[in-house]
Amino acid sequence: MSDAMEFQPGESGKDCSEKAGGWGLKSTRFDYIWKGDIDESKYPEDACDPRYHGNAQIDNLQVNQNINGSGTCTFPTFQGNINVQSWKGFDIKHPNKEGQRLRHICLEGPEAGVYIRGKLTDNNVIDLPDYWSGLVDPESITVSLTQIGSSQDLIVDKIEWGRKVYVRSGNASTINCFYTIQASRIDGEPLIVEYEGETPAEYPGGSRQFSISGYDYDARG
């Protein structure tokens, strides 16, 4: 009896038609799925080239553990446990406790907000990122300062053209603080926080800049 994966030419030469698969030993490697199990250097030169799956189509898929990767996933329907309450969360393996996991929920608010944070020491100027120009509304910029070591009576002296924040000490102390600076994005229409309706389809503003959990994705039948 010949080996199951040995090349067997047809009666009139090479038989390059696809054969049904789905049997054999389970592999745990993250390789492309291909129909064969022989080293490339040992593959017969007169055989048809083996195939592997660059694209695939399937009617039903059962995943018993995890789906990992990057890109865009589009589903006509989805069944699972993703944000039933539309909370935007993440769940990861705990970074320092064996056998435990860590779950957090994203901060929510009535705006598309961005922020930076850092430390200011022996200096009174915070340079805002160049990419904030055209991204945020300069009039929406707010600054929070946390003094380190002693009371310095810190004051935001001025915000210059949405590019620099000037800080001063009211009691002439050396500045040493943490800062958090927040602003609202300006590259989209303002969010309509409350509106009449039964579903997200009735949102009175544009919807191109939104993806709504439980409606645009995570839809339940």
pLDDT in tens, 84-126: 456 777 788 888 999 999 988 888 889 989 999 999 999 999 9
Q: How confident is the model at residue 2 (pLDDT cuts 50, 70, 90)?
A: very low
Could you give the percent of the chain with pLDDT greater than 70?
64
Mean pLDDT of 37-42: 73
- Give the CB-side neighbour count of residue 68, counting CA atoms within 13 A: 4
| Domain residue ranges of the chain, discontinuous segments joined by + | 113-184
pTM, full prediction:
0.58
CA atoms within 13 A on the CB side of 6: 5
Nearest to 88 by CA among 220, 214, 202, 208: 214
**What is the number of alpha carbons within 13 Å of residue 200 lying toward its C-beta?**
13
How far from the centroid of its chain's Cα atoms is residue 182's Cα? 21
CA atoms within 13 A on the CB side of 15: 9
Letter for the amino acid at 187?
D
pLDDT tens sequence across 141-185: 999 999 999 999 999 999 998 899 999 999 999 999 999 999 999
- The residues near 164 (Cβ < 8 Å, ≥ 6 apart) are 125, 126, 127, 128
Contact 114, 186 (CB under 8 A): no
Q: What Rg value do the Cα atoms of the chain yield, rounded? A: 29
pLDDT in tens, 205-214: 887 777 776 6
Mean per-residue pLDDT of the chain: 79
Contact by Cβ (8 Å): 94, 102 = yes
Task: Return phi, psi of residue 115, to 5°.
Answer: -150, 160
- Tokens for 158? 């001025």
**DSSP-derived pairing of the beta strands 101-105 and 89-93:** antiparallel
If you count DSSP H runs as helices and E runs as strands, how many of each does the chain have, helices first? Answer: 0, 8
